Amino acid sequence: MSLLTKQLLTADNHSIVRRFHCGDQDWSQRAASWIKCGPDNQDGPFCSARLHNTTTWLYFREEDGVFVGFGSLGDNQWTVKNGEPKIDLTYLPMMAVAREFHGQPREPGVMKYSQQILADLMKEASQRPHRFLGLHVHQDNEHAVNLYLSERFSYLPMPADRYGNKRMVRVIK
């Protein structure tokens, strides 16, 4: 069975991600660049941890310890409707599965790695104080959009940002 285990990202284990590649699309390259940023960088998981209380986990195949992908959660405030006050929410800044594991595992009855990571992040989000979980997804990233829609995320009625990302949100508790 192809289940995942996780490990908290730290400066000590950050070298695991140095060769991470999750695709050639702009959004994939942004995710790979983000996770590779080290502790002294002004972007990436360590900077996000300082600014937004972000926790990042690395996910590994249980049977052999191979690194499959990562996911992260932090705190943020969003405007959900123009003219209304911002709401506090748990924010999923980045999540990605290594390219060689896209669409896997293919075993019947076993959740894909992307589904397993998102399920774990939603479980972690439910332990945080906020009622909502929000994320940005590139409007052309069909696989991610379909994954989020299948987990009851909804688009906010706002235009895409300058990168083509749209906001999605769901009630987490």
| Domain residue ranges of the chain, discontinuous segments joined by + | 4-171
CA-closest candidate to residue 124, choices 66, 166, 173: 173
Average pLDDT in the 32-54 region? 92
Residue 83 pLDDT level (bands cut at 50, 70, 90): confident
Global pTM? 0.95
Residue 79 pLDDT level (bands cut at 50, 70, 90): confident
Q: Picking from 2-6, 89-93, 120-124, which range would have the lowest pLDDT averaged per residue?
A: 2-6
Average pLDDT over the chain, rounded to whole?
Answer: 95
Q: What pLDDT does 81 receive?
A: 78
Q: 157 versus 166: which is more confidently predicted? A: 166
Residues 4-23 pLDDT 10s: 999 999 999 999 999 999 99
Q: Picking from 61-70, 81-90, 123-132, 159-168, which range would have the lowest pLDDT averaged per residue?
A: 81-90
Q: What pLDDT does 1 receive?
A: 62
Residue that is written with structure tokens 């996000």 in the block: 48
> Looking at domain 4-171, what is its CATH homologous superfamily?
Gcn5-related N-acetyltransferase (GNAT) (3.40.630.30)
DSSP strand E in the chain: where? Answer: 4-8, 55-61, 67-78, 87-92, 95-97, 132-138, 154-155, 165-171
